Structure 1
Amino acid sequence: MFDAKSLLDHFIGGQQQAGPGRQNSGDLLQQATQTLGGFGGGALTGGLAGLLLGSKGGRKLAGNALTYGGLAVAGALAYRAYQNYQAGKAATPAASAQPPLLPPPADTPFNPASEAGQQALGRNLLRAMIAAAKSDGHIDAAEQGTIFAQMDKLNVSAEDKAFVMDELRKPLDVDAVAGAARTPEEAAELYTVSLMAIDVDNPAERAYLSLLAARLELDEKLVAHLHASVEGATQPARIS
């Protein structure tokens, strides 16, 4: 059975415990390090995100963000940005200027209470992250083959693998990513996870983020807060 919420943990989860029959994120990252030969610790440097990012830059979680699962991380980062934006605060990315990351309130668009709502949001966040990873065009057919082969060595279900494969093979479609947002809060979360998979020094990826923000109808001040929120809870990560 495809479990979008659990698969998202493999992309951006911290040190939380995974469900029955699955490794926790720390174990997965250690396994990915051995498999791929040189990823550092922390989400987005190993596991499935590392496979997608290849040799380009990504970001890894830092501070108390490491204690959350993937869905909670995305919601908490977007929620903090949304709060600061609505309060009219300045967008300050420095980690020292950011308070500890707090989980978003339960039963809100940032954190659906129902399992069905969580699964639907998780699926949309995964699609957004995979699309962002493809936005510079580096994941060609040969690279997809490498990713699929390496996925066989990771502890994910056949349904999870099929989902990732299908998303990788689809043409890049920013409108489809943006169209999944049912609320402004979900739009902020979709942008957040896309940003986490983007190398902001890459012109093609910067252009994709700009287009995504426009399609999601995000105010530029909110976008600045989303960048600050992500930067304040993560640090750059590159394969050594």
Structure 2
Amino acid sequence: MKQILDQLLGSGKGWLEQGGEQRKGQVQGALAGGALGLLLGNKKMRKYGGKVAAVGGAAALGGLAYKLYKDWQAQQQSAPAGQVSPQPLSALEGPALDQRAELLVRAMIAAARADGHIDEHERGKIAAHLTELGQGDAARFIDRELARPLDPHALAREVTDMEQATEVYFASLLAIEVDHFMERGYLDELARALQLDGDLKRNIEAQVAAL
């Protein structure tokens, strides 16, 4: 899952470097460029690419999210008694890293679906593209996620602390260009489900907008 997350976060850079015209008439990229290009809709791929190229991978995403969380935490009057110190994505390894990475991939896929443009035909195209590339496991995982009901509360129930909530909201924002009312509505509902403080939510959105 860490590899898939890195591919999703690295696809935009490759897309920008190779150029859209060079790839015209074929699906964009390998796992990330192709699958996420279809998830987002090709019209949004270049904007996505600019954002993720500025992030540069899963570890960098985790680092940015952790800094946003720590800055917000420093402004709070007090921390809950007995609170366990959260760990950034970059500090995890093994099963813990895979579990966190899987949640972030799921968050990005859910956000990319939020405008409702992915139908059964698009699902089939994504699965076929990944299977052709020998990415059968990824194809099955993504198809399973596309078949899930779009439910931000289900994602939020797997979040254990506010630092992780910051990562999930950050990754979700990275995955889309918010230009549709359904996307805005989904993100607002996700923020409520994650119980994001208003200031933290605005800081995350400002950070992504600055990329």
TM-score between the two structures when normalised by the length of structure 1: 0.70
| Alpha carbons of structure 1 residues 36 and 224: separation in structure 2 relative to 1, 3 Å | farther
Q: Residue 197 of structure 1: CA displacement?
A: 1.5
| Distance change in 2, residues 1:180/1:143 (3 Å) | same
Indicate conservation of the 8 Å contact 2:130/2:136, yes or no.
no
Residues 1:196 and 2:174 are matched in the alignment: yes
Indicate whether 1:82 and 2:61 are aligned: no
1:23-61 deviations in Å (ceiling 9; x for gaps)? xx849x85997376496x9xx7x2432221013435223
Match of 2:10 among 13, 32, 41: 13
Question: CA 1:123 to 1:210, structure 2 compared with 1: closer, same or farther past 3 Å?
Answer: same
What is the SS of the residue equivalent to 2:128?
helix
Q: What SS is found at the alignment partner of 1:13?
A: helix
- Supply the distance in 2 between the matched residues of 1:193 and 1:82 (Cα, whole angstroms): 14
Output aligned runs, 1:98-177, within 5 Å: 108-154=87-133, 157-177=135-155
Asked if the contact 1:110/1:185 (under 8 Å) is kept, the reply is: no
In the alignment, the residues of structure 2 paired with residue 36 and residue 116 of structure 1 have an alpha-carbon distance, to the nearest angstrom, of 39
- Of stretches 168-177 and 201-210 in structure 1, the one that deviates more from structure 2 is 168-177
1:11 & 1:62 partners in 2: Cα distance?
Answer: 10
Structure ranking higher on relative contact order (CA contacts 8 Å, 6+ apart): 1
The list of structure 1 runs, each at least 4 consecutive aligned residues, that deviate by more than 6 angstroms after superposition, is: none
User: Which whole-Å deviations, capped at 9, do the CAs of 1:118-159 have from their partners, x for residues lacking one?
Assistant: 0000111111111111111111111111222222344x6321
User: Which stretch of the first structure deviates more once superposed, 156-165 or 221-230?
Assistant: 156-165
Match of 2:209 among 209, 225, 231: 231
- Cα gap change, 1:47 to 1:148, in 2 (>3 Å): same
Unaligned stretches of 5+ in structure 2? Answer: 76-85
TM-score by length of 2: 0.78
Aligned positions, number: 193
1:51 has 2:38 as partner = yes
Checking the alignment, whether the CA contact within 8 Å between 1:77 and 1:226 is kept in structure 2 is no
Higher helix share: 2
Change (3 A) 1:37 1:73: farther
